[in-house]
Structure 1
Amino acid sequence: MSSRSCPAAAGDATAEELLDRARGLVPPALAAARAATGFGGRWKAIAARLERVPPCLSDLSSHPCFSKNSLCQELLQSVAATLAEAAELGARCREPPKAGKLQMQSDLDALAGKLDLNLRDCALLVKTGVLSDATVPAAQAEATAAQTDVRELLARLQIGHAEAKHRAVDGLLDALRENEESVLSALGRGNVAALVQLLTATAPKVREKAATVLCLLAESGSCEGKLMSEGALPPLIRLAESGSLVGREKAVITLQRLSMSPDIARAIVGHSGVRPLIDICQTGDSISQSAAAGALKNISAVPEVRQALAEEGVVRVMINLLDSGVVPGSKEYAAECLQNLTSCNDNLRRAVVSEGGLRSLLAYIDGPLPQESPVAALRNLVTAISPDSLLSLCVLPRLVHVLREGSVGAQQAAAAAICKVSSSTDMKRVVGEHGCMPLLVRLLEAKSNGAREAAAQAVATLMGYPPNARDVKKDEKSVPNLVQLLDPSPQNTAKKYAISCLLALSASKRCRRLMISHGAIGYLKKLSEKDVAGAKKLLEKLDRGRLRTLFSRK
């Protein structure tokens, strides 16, 4: 065991010598307890505990590795001190009282607590497997030293007095930073339960360190089940609500990581965890604010809890973060949260619009590289406002900006938004006048199938206005890009929109020639065999056009 994890040397006495001493102290302690006068009920309970000491010592000493582990020596020292105290208190109770009754009651209760701790620690020490780790063969000692040390640290979380546990947490933090895998492989439910209990320790520093360890465990991605089964959520939520700065930060980061699970997200709502997260979004430092926003974003991904989030005021808080978040991550999480909230709930869409969320999203989109979440939230909201409002708020110039400068995901969301707002001929005209057609045609080349599909759907919708169709016809990239979207593979979900666009262009002799030269007929034959709507009609048009060209050459 390393020096950092061992609280103190157990003295010069061997384990066998300490065992003999402890066994020798049991009879006088028992005799003193039975002979004590006054406080009969308390002394009877203490005597019953003392009678359990010899079997526990036998269990401990019968382990083949008993004499090779410092934990045994430390425990035996503690047991001997408790037995000596029992004998001394028993003797005092046979003499005229030198202290008041309340003091003696307090001393007896403390003695009972120490005996309980000794008995529990003795049983746990045998069960933890730490003693077995001491018998590693010499050839394997170096390879397994780290894991042996970790198991001893984990055992110390459950064994001994509070200060010893606190030192074990310090050692465990060091071990996690040096070799996380060795800790995770040795971690058991009892160890996690001990850490969870330390979240409610009296000393703030201990709570902070326990929260830091649990945060590292949660971020490893392999301990969610243990944390949940040992009841970590309620103390984590309390720590997020009223802990120190460091304690709150670690608790919120842990909640953010755990809330990625839909089941745990529901449990956080059930344990009244939303309000503390919202409060931190409004008052926390940059790290805590970002983590709290991330946790709320994760929770908002669960449809059935969205209304509960709204009732706690999450819409206003997310809009405020968009406007004045301390760090960019907070704003991104806020946009994702609004995207989730507005994905399929008209009431929440109206709430976001009425709270001024549309203006905040548009201002956020104005940045140099628009990302998907704010544009997707905007896509969800465009049907909740009138065409006049869309124009007065300059929504279309923002969508054009996204098509030019945004990420592929943002461009896909922008194309979908354009498709949604283009239900009337007048809006199709306005969209075309803003220069969307060539940008959508370029988006047909995107690597993402979803982006290609959204672009093809938007082009097909906008071509219902003849001037837009003429713009597509004039664009030299339109026909080649659309023909590529005739690929019959199941992964290509844009083919039905590509067929619609090409049918609209097939009246042009030049466009038909381009379609044929780029291999449209081969694609269309396969699509016709699969009865894809419009494929046979477009194939017949191209075949007739090809025949007319052949006859005219003759």
Structure 2
Amino acid sequence: MIESQKMVEDRGNELPITARSAEEWLLQAQRLVPSALEKAQEVKVFLTRWKTIVTKLEQVPMCLSDLSSHPCFSKNALCKEQLQGISATLRETIELAECCLGEKYEGKLKMQSDIDSLVGKLDLSLRDCQVLMKTGVLGEATLPLTMKRSSISEAHTSIKELLARLQIGNLEAKHRALDALLRVMMEDEKNLMAVIGRSNVAALVHLLTATTSSQIREKTVTVICCLVESGICEDWLVSESVIPSLIRLAESGSQLSKEKAMISLQKLSSSPEAAHSIAEHGGTSSLVELCSYHHNLALQSSAVCTLNNISAVPDAREILAREGLIEAAIHLLEHGSSFGPKECAAQCLQNMTSSNESFQRSVISKGGFGALLSYIESSPLPQEPAVGAVRNLVTMVSWEALLSAGLLQCLVHVIRFGSLAAQQAAASAICQVSVSGHDEAKKLIGEAGIIPLLINSLEKKSDILKEVSAQAISSLITVHQNYREVKRNDQSVPSLVQLLDPNPKNTAKKYAVLCLLRLSPNKKCRKVMVSYGAIGYLKKLKEMDVQGSKKLLERLERGTLRSLFT
């Protein structure tokens, strides 16, 4: 349990608060106010400064009244500490006023500095009192008398008190509060997450911008990073405008601040709203620059992963393109030394090229197509992002350029060794090339050894892979050379017949019909189709008006009747 109840802050000094009750501290402060006010009004030197002090002293009685009337006044250590701080400041006011009245000060400049410091302390006391009253932290950080005391309830109360300390006191007090909070996050994160509220999150965000202390910012962004990673307070953090502060830290903070800010931005950017906010607040230029941080892989990785999340938001892509994301992603693919950042760079290119022809042309003109193929071929287990980006680009590149770039060999490598999603993207790329290409292109695809791989893909578990593979075969089979290869493959007809299943989830059936229709003139193929139950499937597909099913059914039934008569 946090031991904050044992100590009290006296604007830098710590005293046992058990020596006096809150009521005794209140009486002392109330006795000191008239004396301090009278002395301050008598001073005739540094008149402007002392008039400011008088104005602030006149506000102290109301501050004391507000504190003493709070229901938790006598039960909360924060009240006692606040009163002790006010008492100390009032005593200092009297001492400085007496020095000025007797002109017993060492030098004018030093006295001016002391008076300015006193003004700051009065400001802090009044502000802290206002915070305690208006934010409700006194109630939050006090264990109700009606609540049964337990280790959990006491821990919650102590944590609430600690969170309240983030909003009051001087820099040294905030240092101590942040240090204690970081310890709690390591030792008692569950209880912390159970009690933290939006006002506490707002106080943390405020600390990032309200202080010039780099140490305070480091500790604060470390706490925020822990909260973001816990997934508890993401919406609150974004709504409290943490993103601009994190961007500034990523740009110009200390090394630790940069890393924690980038981890936070990466996690937050998984939300489309937060990703769009990062782009709107100018964060993309810094992120693109960090992509070239080869000497700091952690920063580079967080930056490119964040850009990947942002590039998934269509409205943000124009900003990303202007800030140089395409060039940075290609450079990372070609020169990056770590798999993770390179994979995110490929995903960025896939997102950017998903629908925008201008971005597609930009990637191609900057050498991105070749960089993607080289990256895929160098990977022992190709993944979907790079292959998906290639799929998005193939229709923008001439057939001759595709051949010279080694597209077919690359796609063969993917279908053999890639992940299931990568195989789907590769089959889709083949489909696009074969559908839009001429017969010579289809012939060369067949010669590359792709057709047997596509036939094997018809047996995979993925419905999408089955569909795009069947679609590619239905296009390639229009070339006689490819037709012969499909016909010779013992696995082709049985696999295609299985894809006639009328189940709505089976999206490959229309392409399977087209393939089988092309093979149906061959007697052997027809016999295999019938033996694997094609007629039963086709009767149902005919009722569903699937293109070509009626014609194929008639052809198979005629062949069956003919065989009966012979």
TM-score w.r.t. length of structure 2: 0.91
Q: What displacement does 1:411 show?
A: 0.2
CA change 1:359–1:45 in 2 (3 A) is: same
Aligned 8 A contact 1:60 1:122 in 2 = yes
Aligned 8 A contact 1:402 1:411 in 2 = yes
**Letter matched to residue 485 of structure 1:** L
Corresponding residue number in structure 2 for 1:395: 407
Single out whichever of 122-131 and 68-77 deviates more from structure 2: 122-131
Corresponding residue number in structure 2 for 1:515: 529
Q: Give the secondary structure class of the aligned counterpart of 2:105.
A: coil
Aligned 8 A contact 2:143 2:153 in 1 = no
1:118-267 pair list within 5 angstroms: 118-126=125-133, 127-130=136-139, 133-135=142-144, 139-200=148-209, 201-267=211-277
Q: What displacement does 1:330 show?
A: 0.4
Q: What displacement does 1:181 show?
A: 4.0
User: What is the aligned residue count?
Assistant: 552
CA change 1:147–1:539 in 2 (3 A) is: farther
TM-score w.r.t. length of structure 1: 0.93
Q: What displacement does 1:236 show?
A: 1.0
**Letter matched to residue 198 of structure 1:** L
1:430-441 pair list within 5 angstroms: 430-441=444-455
Q: Give the secondary structure class of the aligned counterpart of 2:102.
A: coil
Single out whichever of 42-51 and 284-293 deviates more from structure 2: 42-51
Q: Give the secondary structure class of the aligned counterpart of 1:93.
A: helix
Corresponding residue number in structure 2 for 1:23: 30
Aligned 8 A contact 1:485 1:492 in 2 = yes
Corresponding residue number in structure 2 for 1:415: 427
Q: Give the secondary structure class of the aligned counterpart of 1:343.
A: coil
Deviations 1:21-60 (A, max 9, x none): 2222111112222222244444344333323323332332
Across the aligned residues of Structure 1 and Structure 2, the Cα RMSD in angstroms comes to 2.3
Q: Give the secondary structure class of the aligned counterpart of 2:461.
A: coil
Q: What displacement does 1:208 show?
A: 1.6
Aligned 8 A contact 2:141 2:164 in 1 = no
Aligned 8 A contact 1:154 1:191 in 2 = yes
Matched, 1:60 2:67: yes
Q: What displacement does 1:297 show?
A: 1.0
Deviations 1:177-209 (A, max 9, x none): 334343333223332222223324333232222
Q: What displacement does 1:307 show?
A: 2.7
Aligned 8 A contact 2:5 2:77 in 1 = no
Give, in whole Å, the separation in 2 of the partners of 1:497 and 1:140: 70
Corresponding residue number in structure 2 for 1:406: 418
Q: What displacement does 1:139 show?
A: 4.1
**Letter matched to residue 91 of structure 1:** E
Corresponding residue number in structure 1 for 2:105: 98
Aligned 8 A contact 1:371 1:409 in 2 = yes
CA change 1:251–1:51 in 2 (3 A) is: same
Q: Give the secondary structure class of the aligned counterpart of 2:150.
A: helix
Q: What displacement does 1:235 show?
A: 1.7
Corresponding residue number in structure 1 for 2:20: 13
Given candidates 340, 344, 355, the residue that maps to 2:355 is 344
Q: What displacement does 1:102 show?
A: 4.9
**Letter matched to residue 535 of structure 1:** S
Deviations 1:358-390 (A, max 9, x none): 222122112110000011111112222222222
Q: What displacement does 1:242 show?
A: 1.2
Matched, 1:473 2:482: no
CA change 1:56–1:517 in 2 (3 A) is: farther
Matched, 1:108 2:119: no
Q: What displacement does 1:444 show?
A: 1.5
Give, in whole Å, the separation in 1 of the partners of 2:164 and 2:461: 53
Matched, 1:3 2:17: no
Question: Percent of aligned pairs with the same residue?
Answer: 52
Q: What displacement does 1:132 show?
A: 5.3
Give, in whole Å, the separation in 2 of the partners of 1:184 and 1:178: 12
Given candidates 267, 271, 283, the residue that maps to 2:281 is 271
Matched, 1:34 2:34: no
Aligned 8 A contact 1:130 1:155 in 2 = no
Q: What displacement does 1:260 show?
A: 1.9
Given candidates 34, 58, 82, the residue that maps to 2:89 is 82
Corresponding residue number in structure 1 for 2:341: 330
Aligned 8 A contact 1:69 1:131 in 2 = no
Give, in whole Å, the separation in 2 of the partners of 1:129 and 1:498: 71
Single out whichever of 96-105 and 493-502 deviates more from structure 2: 96-105
Aligned 8 A contact 1:10 1:70 in 2 = no
Aligned 8 A contact 2:500 2:512 in 1 = yes
Give, in whole Å, the separation in 1 of the partners of 2:330 and 2:5: 48
Give, in whole Å, the separation in 1 of the partners of 2:508 and 2:164: 59
Corresponding residue number in structure 1 for 2:460: 446
Give, in whole Å, the separation in 2 of the partners of 1:532 and 1:420: 22
Unmatched segments (≥5 aa) in structure 2: 9-13
Aligned 8 A contact 2:332 2:341 in 1 = yes
Corresponding residue number in structure 2 for 1:313: 324
Give, in whole Å, the separation in 2 of the partners of 1:509 and 1:31: 115
Give, in whole Å, the separation in 2 of the partners of 1:412 and 1:370: 12
CA change 1:537–1:142 in 2 (3 A) is: same
Q: What displacement does 1:354 show?
A: 2.3
Q: What displacement does 1:99 show?
A: 5.4
CA change 1:176–1:136 in 2 (3 A) is: farther
